[in-house]
Chains A and B, each alone.
Chain A
Amino acid sequence: MSTNQATLVIEAGRMERHYWRDLWRYRELFFFLAWRDILVRYKQTVIGIVWALGRPLLTMLVFTLVFSKLAKLPSGGVPYPILVFAALLPWQFFSSAFSGAGESLVTNAAMISKVYFPRLVIPASAVIVAFVDFLISVIILVGLMIWYGFAPNLRMLTLPLFIFVAFAAAMGTGLWFAALNVKYRDFRIIVPFVVQFGLYISPVGFSSSIVPEKWRLLYSINPMVGVIDGFRWAILGGNTQLYWPGFLLSLLLVFVIMVTGIFFFRKTEKTFADVI
């Protein structure tokens, strides 16, 4: 550790001065906490990390069966499993990051009341945990593409951009819920509800092109619509079209949620130890 002789001043309403520098100093803690959560999740399990593959794979199978074989929804010339999986990737990342981050402060209450560190580390590391699962799921996507002989085009290169948007959406909502959950445990009940509900109102099992044109903009108020459409646009390539007004609206909302989320979190953070 480097010797830091700067004088630290603690005063009411003045704690944020070195916040971002502190956050940088505690960067290792991010990874340690994420590493802990990943390790703990698969401790004392027989098949361990394979679970991370099983969950999205089974969901994909069920969705394909229900929406393609039973409901006979159109896929736009793309193998239905790939259509579903391209959406399942961001959705599962979002839902597990969102619920993980939302619960994170409460589950780490003991740490919050006994040690100082920028509290942002906790929800952020929960998002990282979800991101690791996401990366593992990408393997399945690659497998599916090989299986169906489906070659992506150059749009694939824009995928990191959409991943970033998904990250921001998960982080923004996660921060809001994490901070609110500290004081109002009601949000503990709301989180699983949002995740369950969100699956139905997001175009995961179907393509958002089946939504009537006049409702598309309204539909895009759900920020995950933009994220999922973006993922499909980048992964499926070909004749998949992006509905730009809707996408930009989603993007704007993600941005607003992210910025206000950080702001709200920072504002309430100082009282966490007192109310948690």
Chain B
Amino acid sequence: MSTVISVENLSKKYIIGHQKQERYTALRDVLTDGAKRLTHKLIHPFAAPVNDPTHEEFLALKDVSFNIKQGDRVGIIGRNGAGKSTLLKVLSRITEPTSGKVSIKGRVASLLEVGTGFHPELTGRENIFLNGAILGMSKIDIKRKFDEIVAFAEVEKFLDTPVKRYSSGMYVRLAFAVAAHLEPEILIVDEVLAVGDAQFQKKCLGKMEEADKEGRTILLVSHNMGVISQLCSTCVWLDKGGIKDIGQTGDVVNKYMLNGVAELSGEISFEHDPKKVAQLKKMTLLNQEGNVAQKFDCDNPINIKFEIQIRKKLPGLYGYIGIFKPDGTQVLVSDSFDAVTINPLDDLPVGTSTFNVTLPPRTLGHGDYRVHFSMASQSADNFHVDVPGIVCGFSLDDFTSKRGNQRAGFFSTLMPWSKLEN
């Protein structure tokens, strides 16, 4: 496979203002900057101001280099502000790099936002044409795919209604449908799957997987590790503008999650995967009131509720839950052999079963934690039956002890102190 995108030492510098609230400058400020600077400004109006204490350089991308081969599906992960969107903007030619070089072979379509250029006053039909043209489709292409787009978006009845009267769901579906029918050789997508309902997201993922069969190269930014793992073979982890890691998705995602920078929540669900004989379908962290939560306090239990789908009876199946600190320190382990009676996962019937594991109050100290989950069985062809890895995250606050969140150590256990009679 040939290299279609090659990025060499790419850097992008932004000038950030400190005092000014607006991103644009008022001519007045420039004028008061003095005649000398004004002359400079008029000659190079968009150049960075010289020696201006209110302005600071900010490197959004620092010396980034990587190659992407044709047909690769590359996930780009990283914390907010890591440079993911800047990278996509440079690759899509929206903004110019400050230094470095990118070579791209093939037609690129980028989807950095759903519904760019949609006009609320125009009807669905009109917006399909407009949006298509903005994304780089020709009129003939749009006409050819028009029916397909409409069917995909499920808005047949509302084609001649202005989109301002659409429900937000319809709006997103229509916008995504147009984009999903672009047929570029390279598709660049920024976190657009985060919108829309779960069912529609699934449809979109399906559409994007289809693209793979046509040898299309995909670059995808997402905070959803589930989507990244499902869709991408390779993964680039950006941190503070530089590449922290690059490689196989599974490895990179796991390192990223353990690093504690992933945005984990108290809820996760997984797509149906028929290859797995037993699969974790869903996990939620519940507070005492039975609501999904991510923030807990030390005085209350945390209920880890999860659903397992069994596709084949597996004798000896057991579950494993590990609790980690963001730095990767393992603080607690519990497996299903901890159960009071027998291992409840052993020899489950085919279908879904729900379980609950309780983390008792006053166990762990305040701080952030990650929950790791896996299932294994000696009787399975593959011992590691399902290893979703880090699935949820939560934070604990200590509100009641004297030192509260200043209390050091791994545990929040209140130890009984007593004075002995001598």
Contact = CB atoms under 8 A, between A and B. Distances in A.
Interface of A: 1, 3-5, 7-13, 15, 26, 28-29, 32-33, 35-36, 39-40, 43-44, 110-117, 180, 182-187, 267-268, 270-271, 273-276
Nearest to B137: A1
Interface stretch (B98-106, B229-237, B345-353, B358-366): B98-106
Contacts of B342: none
A36 B28 contact: no
Interface in B91-126: 91-108, 110, 112-113, 116-117, 119, 121-122, 126
A11 B162 contact: no
A12 B133 contact: no
A8 B104 contact: yes
Given A10-B91, A180-B45, A32 B129 contact: yes
A82 B89 CA distance: 53
Nearest to B24: A185
B388 interface: no
B136 interface: yes
A44 B121 contact: yes
Interface in B145-182: 162
A70 B92 CA distance: 60
Nearest to B26: A186
B25 A43 contact: no
Given A8-B104, A28-B138, A115 B46 contact: no
A4 B121 contact: no
Contacts of B59: none
Contacts of A268: 45-46
A114 B94 contact: yes
Nearest to B132: A32
Interface in B55-93: 89-93
Contacts of B110: 115-116
A141 to B, nearest CB: 31
Interface of B: 14, 23-28, 30, 45-46, 89-108, 110, 112-113, 116-117, 119, 121-122, 126, 129-130, 133-139, 141, 162, 183, 185
Contact of A273 (B30, B45, B95): B95
B26 to A, nearest CB: 6
Given A44-B121, A111-B116, A8 B103 contact: yes
8 contacts: A12-B97, A39-B126, A112-B94, A115-B135, A116-B92, A183-B25, A187-B27, A274-B95
Contact of B130 (A32, A116, A187, A270): A32
Contacts of B137: 1
B305 to A, nearest CB: 40
Given A1-B136, A110-B117, 15 more contacts: A1-B137, A1-B141, A5-B106, A7-B105, A12-B99, A28-B139, A36-B122, A44-B121, A116-B92, A116-B110, A117-B134, A184-B26, A184-B30, A273-B94, A273-B95
A-B CB proximity, top 9 nearest: A186-B27, A10-B102, A32-B133, A116-B93, A270-B96, A114-B116, A8-B104, A273-B95, A43-B121
Given A9-B102, A10-B102, A43-B162, A115 B25 contact: no
Contacts of A117: 134, 136
Listed residue (A111, A115, A182, A187) with the most chain B CB atoms within 10 angstroms of its CB: A115
Listed residue (A44, A184, A185, A276) with the most chain B CB atoms within 10 angstroms of its CB: A184
A115 B14 contact: no
Contact of B119 (A11, A26, A36, A114): A36
Given A28-B133, A111-B134, A275-B46, A9 B89 contact: no
B100 A1 contact: no
A26 B356 CA distance: 58
Contact of A39 (B122, B135, B185): B122
Contacts of A114: 94, 112-113, 116
A119 B100 CA distance: 23
Contacts of B102: 9-11
B24 A15 contact: no
A183 B45 contact: yes
A9 B6 CA distance: 10
Contacts of A273: 89, 94-95
A186 B45 CA distance: 14
Contacts of A10: 90-91, 93, 96-97, 101-104
A99 B158 CA distance: 35
A36 B80 CA distance: 35
A11 B129 CA distance: 32
A123 to B, nearest CB: 16
Contacts of B129: 32
B103 A115 contact: no
B236 to A, nearest CB: 17
A115 B24 contact: no
